[in-house]
Structure formats: structure tokens, C-alpha cells
Chain A
Amino acid sequence: MRKTFINTLVELARKDERIFLITPDIGYSVLEVFMNEFPHRSLNVGVAEQNAIGIAAGMALNGLIPYVYTINPFVCMRPFEQIRVDVAYMNTNVRIVGVGAGFSYGSAGATHHSIEDIAIMRALPNMTVVCPGDPWEVSEALKASVDYKGPMFFRLGKQGEPVINNPKSKFKIGKANKIRTGKDLHIISTSNTLEIANNVCEILKTKKINAGLLSMHTIKPFDNKAVIDLLKTKKPIFTIEEHNIIGGLGSAVSEVIAESGFNPLFKRFGVNDKYSHYVGSHDFIRAKFGITKENISKNILKLIGKKLK
């Protein structure tokens, strides 16, 4: 996703002189394509995230559109109060771009993991929270971001995520994309678990279960209507995210369900309020937290089996 991000930003910057890239000294071997083509629109502020956000807000007040890029926890947690005041409260057109959703930085350790970002960013008034599920959504969301009013947060995966969406689909910030229509149950995924969610649907298909899949690429503004439409089918709903189950996609969907009058079978799959102390790759840590196609489909089968009894 990070390659798609920077390549799309280069394309957009060719057409719009307001686009600026700021990094607090992260993005070596990723950002150069932009920095080489637009040296006067690139700024490495040094390892100083608070400064990066404040500078971005100042630039936005001057009419520019700054994209601040670094590893996710460093872009949205270290300078959180700058984001709150200079970006959200002042409603500036700053784009906060965090690379490394969930456990993407696997072996680097928990300082580099990001399992609380959606929760804290969606609690900020004015903030739009975009969590693309595949490179196509990254590219579409970025294109939409240029003329979008107000602050935005982008939660990117890292590298190698496949395209799951049909690239001919339409994309709109705040409107979920339907990947599969389901007859028996519905899965909603956000951010970098879209591939896993799609594979869960494939596994369920082998068990003759027809599962729908929604890519909830925008967590705020939340597509309440898409969830209500699923609720109307009266089928079970499951959420999948590589984020704490407190405050993320699962919470957002729960909120809609709780006020909807419907009472579906519902389960959140995600990180169960624990930091990783494991050493290992992204996939290794995902497996430790049960964020795998095998574990999730097994649990879904168990849950709907119980329901059938």
C-alpha cells in the first residue's frame, strides 16, 4: 500500500501545486520518487513528529495540502495533542498518513505496532478516518483527498497487499464497498484485513455458506446505512480488523446495531485488548492473536452452528 500511496501522490502532485509531503525522517527507499521530482514540495523535518504536525497545520492555513507520512503510531499517537488542536479543532486540511496498520511492522516490536489508532482518531471531531483495505482503495481515497474539506487520517498497510476490489467499482469516502453479496451471513472488514476477510468467505463457501463482504474503508464518517442494510437481512454479522476490539470497526458497528432495534448474532474479531510481546513476522503475530482466515472461519462456523441449534 505504501508504494501505491507514494506513486498516487506523485501523480496528484503533478496536477496540483498545493500538495506537499512532510516526513519526520521516515520513508527511506519509499518517498524518494516524490522527493526527487518535487524537492521544493518535500520536507524532512527530522525526527520531530510534533513539529511535523504543527508545520502541516501552518501550511494548510496558508492554503497548501500537506501529507504527513511516517509509521502509524508515530504520526497519530506521539503528536496526538497537536492533531487535536492544530488539525482537528482548527479544522485544517492536513492529511495524516500512517503506514503499518496493526502488526504490519511485526518483528520491529510493539512500539511500531498500531492497534489503538482508529479508536483515538475517530474520537476527534472534524476528523475523517480512512482505512483502505487494498491498494485500489488507497489510490481512490488519495484522489478523493485532494479537494476534500477538513482533516483526514489514512491508515495504510505496508506492502504486498493484493487488490480485492473490482477496480471498476465506484469509490466514495464514507461509503462502504461491497465486495461480495451474502445470503447466509455478512462480514465487515476494515483496513489491512480485507484479504483475510475475503479468504474467510472462500473457506465458508467450501462449507456451503454464502458470506457477504463489505470493505468499510471509511470509519468516519461511518456508513451507517450500509450496516442497517445488512441488519435488515436478519443474518449474522461479523467484523474483522487488526486493531483493538475496543474503539475500532467492531465498536463502530456495535454502536449502529445497538441503536438499530435489530438483534443479530454479532461477533467482533480483532485484537483482544493486549499488546504483542511476541517476536516474529506480521503473519506470525497475526496467528498469535487469531487474526487468520482459519481461526476466524472456524469461530464463525462454531457461532452459527450454535445459533442453528
Chain B
Amino acid sequence: MKDLIQETKNIRKSILLMNHRANASHSGSALSIVELLTVLYFKYLKIDRKNLKDNKRDKFILSKGHASSALYATLAEWGAFEKSFLDKFYIDGGILPGHVDMEAAPGLECAAGSLGHGLSIGLGMAIASKYQKLPSRVVVMISDGELNEGSIWEPLLLAPHLKLDNLTVIVDYNKIQSFGITNEVVNLEPLGEKLKSFNWHLIEIDGHDMMQIENALNEKTDKPKIIVAHTTKGKGVSFMENKLEWHYRSPNKELLEQAYLELN
């Protein structure tokens, strides 16, 4: 797995540069999912870079659309589109908006930005794939704060009922949301027990350990799978880690350089 370390560093640098240049928020929410996205795109998802619209492809939905910079940076690193697209994030006349527009660039499966949408859409894709006898697997990533949305619990209830073994949900449990500590805003715990009682195949992992991520994704089950990935908001940049303010801030030039030094 050593080979992917460099990819995660490149993706983190892209995220920081994009947010710095655009003065955009949500750096911390993007940094917490870098290993997850890296393993997904470089190890797990079966998607043909040259035929991104092939209906047999696996599909990934980033439901926590505010972390779009991480998705864009990963897709560029993986080769869905030119890295130069990343220079056009969040700015006047840009290409990539702050929250995902499906039409913005190749490889984006779904719009996102309003929380609590992606899981139902992914569920629809999983049902359709079964009916169409497609090999497609669907992975949806949601945030911990997103679990406050009632609309998340509707598909959480239905997917196990339909026994969809082609659907995987990843919860980015970075434990900080807009107003503070996730479990102080609205307590999700005991989260694992809740999800297990809903009949999901539950796996809890360290969301920055790429071996654990890969093993969890490949674990065989006949139920829909939910991976609760314990992560660190702002992961990889010491002064951003576990800091609420980095839900909003973007690094200035000086902090960007400092972050780069740490990543190198």
C-alpha cells in the first residue's frame, strides 16, 4: 500500500491549494476523507477512466458535498480529468463549484451539497443495477453530521430490507460538525449499535489506515454494508486537526506553506 502514500500527499496538497486560492471553506471536512477516497479510486472502484459513462461501472456518491475539493482532487489525481481543472475551483468563471454539480466535470456521478440526499440516490442505483443485472457496486459516503438528517434514516431502514449486497455506505466519523462536537450537537451514540440493529453489516475502522479501508471494502457479506470510518477532521496538517474553525477556514499563504512542509 506504500505506493498510495504519495497519492494521498498530492491530494492533500491539491485540497489545500484549491481552498487557499478560492478562499473556500471546509478544508477540514475534505482532509478527513483523503485515505478513504484514495483507496476507493485507486484500489476498489471498477471504473474505466476512458469510458466513464459505461453503465457497468461501479459508482461513488459523495453525499457530504461540502468536501467536494477532496473529490475533485482525487478524481484529478486518478485521471478522470486534467489537474488544471483544480485551478478552476470556486472562482469566477470556474469549472468546479463549492458543492458538486454533476455536469461540472467527468466522473461526477451525482450533485451534492444539500445533506441527506446521496444515500437515497445510491440506493436507487443499487436497486436499478440488480434489476438491470449489472455488476455495478455503489458506494455512498456520508458525514457524521449528515446523520442528523431524517432523510438518511429512510434509506438506512430500506436498504437492508431489500437485502442489497451491492451497496456500501461509508460514514466519515470525524466527530466535528458545523456548530461543534458532533455528539454534543446531537448525540449519535451508540452509532454502531443503531446501524447493526437496522440490519446493516457493520465494520468500524480507522479511516486513515488504508489497509483497514481496503479490507473493509472487500469484506464479503450478503447484506448492505456500512463502514463507520473513525477519522480526524483536518487530518495531515497538525494545526488543522480536530479544530472546529477548519470546518470554515481556508489557509492563507503562510499557513499553506507550513502545511506543505508538514506534508513533505
Contact = CB atoms under 8 A, between A and B. Distances in A.
Interface of A: 20, 40-41, 43, 45-46, 48, 50-51, 53-64, 66, 81-82, 85-86, 89-90
Given A41-B131, A61-B110, A63-B132, A86 B158 contact: no
Contacts of A45: 154, 158
Contact of B109 (A46, A61, A66): A61
11 contacts: A43-B127, A48-B154, A50-B120, A51-B158, A55-B123, A57-B121, A62-B125, A62-B134, A66-B124, A86-B111, A90-B111
A64 B128 contact: yes
Contacts of B125: 58-59, 61-62
A55 B124 contact: yes
Given A57-B121, A58-B124, 19 more contacts: A20-B131, A43-B127, A46-B157, A46-B158, A50-B120, A50-B151, A51-B120, A54-B120, A54-B151, A61-B121, A61-B124, A62-B129, A62-B132, A63-B132, A64-B131, A66-B124, A85-B111, A90-B102, A90-B110
A62 B121 CA distance: 10
Nearest to B113: A85
Interface of B: 55, 102, 109-111, 113-114, 116-117, 119-129, 131-132, 134, 136, 150-151, 154-155, 157-158
Contacts of A86: 111, 117, 120-121
Contacts of A63: 55, 128, 132
A64 B127 CA distance: 11
Interface secondary structure of B, over-half rule: helix
A41 B127 CA distance: 10
Nearest to B122: A58
A61 B108 CA distance: 12
Given A51-B154, A51-B158, A81-B114, A57 B131 contact: no
A179 to B, nearest CB: 39
Contacts of A59: 124-125, 127-128
A82 B113 CA distance: 12
Query: Of B119, B124, B134, which is in contact with the most chain A CB atoms at under 10 Å from its CB?
Result: B124
Interface secondary structure of A, over-half rule: helix
B51 to A, nearest CB: 15
Contacts of B129: 62
Nearest to B156: A51
B126 to A, nearest CB: 8
A53 B155 CA distance: 11
A110 to B, nearest CB: 23
A20 B128 CA distance: 9
B124 A56 contact: yes
Given A85-B111, A89-B111, A90-B111, A54 B123 contact: yes
Contact of A58 (B123, B150, B151): B123
Nearest to B162: A43
Closest 7 CB pairs of A and B: A58-B124, A54-B120, A62-B128, A51-B154, A55-B124, A48-B154, A58-B121
Contacts of B128: 20, 58-59, 61-64
Nearest to A94: B124
A53 B55 contact: no
Contacts of B136: 62
Nearest to A50: B151
Contact of B121 (A43, A48, A54, A81): A54
A48 B155 CA distance: 9
A20 to B, nearest CB: 8
A50 B123 CA distance: 12
Contacts of B109: 61
B158 to A, nearest CB: 6
A47 to B, nearest CB: 9
Contact of B158 (A48, A53, A62): A48
